[in-house]
Chains A and B, each alone.
Chain A
Amino acid sequence: DGGITQSPKYLFRKEGQNVTLSCEQNLNHDAMYWYRQDPGQGLRLIYYSQIVNDFQKGDIAEGYSVSREKKESFPLTVTSAQKNPTAFYLCASSMYGRAPNTGELFFGEGSRLTVL
């Protein structure tokens, strides 16, 4: 079945540690995204990538890093520089540059990170 797989679903880390969240898709989508969701805040864009080996900062990129070495994969690293990393992280993909490009995002199940 085609879809987006995020792992781990739950993650606990001590303050000051870097953590990497995995996102893999087999939808053959070019564009991938990372969103952060906090209660009452909706979804805020961290980073996005429209093509392999290229990515752009979103609205809240500080303290995060990404890579896009393969079309299928877009891992997110939450670094120790992120001041408030405890949140729910959602990865998504879309059909960038292909018709029909509706702007619709396909989401993974999310990763809940808790920093102790």
Chain B
Amino acid sequence: EDKVVQSPLSLVVHEGDTVTLNCSYEVTNFRSLLWYKQEKKAPTFLFMLTSSGIEKKSGRLSSILDKKELFSILNITATQTGDSAIYLCAVSVRGSEKLVFGKGTKLTVNP
């Protein structure tokens, strides 16, 4: 059974801290790994990763994939209160049009 596990499930930090969110997966035929941010309603796309070792960056957010260890991390530096959200990791499986989601990490950034 395809599985995506995120950790931690919940995290509380202060503004300015750096956080690392983890995502591990076990799937039959990996195509890509995606990170989404969900603040209130609709998840919004952050990154898609397909190759190991290539870091994707967008401002203070960055992500990298390790296909050997079946693992990805999402880093957020100099956190702001606006980073407070649920961060979802999902894996796309080749031969299927489904995304398999983890349970998400709820990040709270306090001023």
Contacts and interface: CB of A to CB of B under 8 A. Distances in A.
Contacts of B97: 31, 48, 50, 94, 96
B48 A105 contact: no
Interface in B78-111: 88, 90, 92, 97-99, 101-104
Given A42-B102, A43-B101, A104 B48 contact: yes
Interface residues of A, number: 24
Contacts, number: 55
Interface of B: 6, 9, 31-32, 34, 41-45, 48, 88, 90, 92, 97-99, 101-104
30 contacts: A31-B97, A40-B103, A41-B103, A42-B6, A42-B102, A42-B103, A43-B88, A43-B90, A45-B99, A48-B97, A48-B98, A50-B97, A90-B42, A94-B97, A96-B97, A102-B48, A102-B92, A103-B32, A103-B92, A104-B34, A104-B45, A104-B48, A105-B43, A105-B45, A105-B99, A106-B45, A107-B42, A107-B43, A107-B44, A109-B42
